[in-house]
Amino acid sequence: MKTKGIYFLYRVLQLLTFPAVLAYFLVRGLRQPAYFTSLPHRLGFLSRRTFRQTVPGAIWLHAVSVGEVLSLLELVPRLRAQFPHAPLFVSTATLAGRAAARDKLSALANGIFYAPIDHVFAVRRVLRTLRPAMVLVLETEIWPNLFREAKRAGCALAILNGRISDRTERRYRRSAIFR
């Protein structure tokens, strides 16, 4: 199947499952109210006051949870030293990850937020707000819409600390998704 067909299928499946995603956040929000407060970020709504860019060259670091946030403890100060004027933003996917990022990185990062769900409308909204020059994703999490939209926006994209098996790499190369 061609890459466009795969993306089309992915987006159709996302559209069909979107009500279930919202229901998931509703149920989680009833158990943990913090999930309600994370919903605007997950839908791509970032505060223009905190995240609006006035200088080029922002760097978006996506760390899924606590482990990935902890792996940023050495990288963020180095990025800050190497690119002192570049805004640094950290996103996480979990409540614990955001709490860890807030505790450990708030003095170095210009903003910390929940990662948007991998729907085009949410990802585009975050990319338009941050205007990053570079998106760094920690670990081997595949976010097809984020990767595709970052490329469309002209952002450099790298997966840090990622691991895949030789067999999986061959399948990815054959499918042409990452070309």
Active-site position among 68, 74, 149, 169: 68
Residue pair 6/179 in contact (Cβ under 8 Å)? The answer is no
**Residue length of the chain:** 179
CA distances from 15 to 3, 10, 23, 84 (A): 18, 9, 14, 40
Residue type, 97: G
| Cα gap 113→66, rounded to integer Å | 14
CA distances from 97 to 13, 38, 72, 84, 102 (A): 27, 12, 12, 25, 9
Q: 3-class DSSP state for residue 47?
A: coil
Is 68 one of the annotated active-site residues of the chain? yes
Exposed, middle or buried: residue 172 (CB in 10 Å: 0-12, 13-18, 19+)? Answer: middle
Angle, CA 95 vertex, CA 97 and CA 68 arms, to 5°: 15
Active site residues: 68
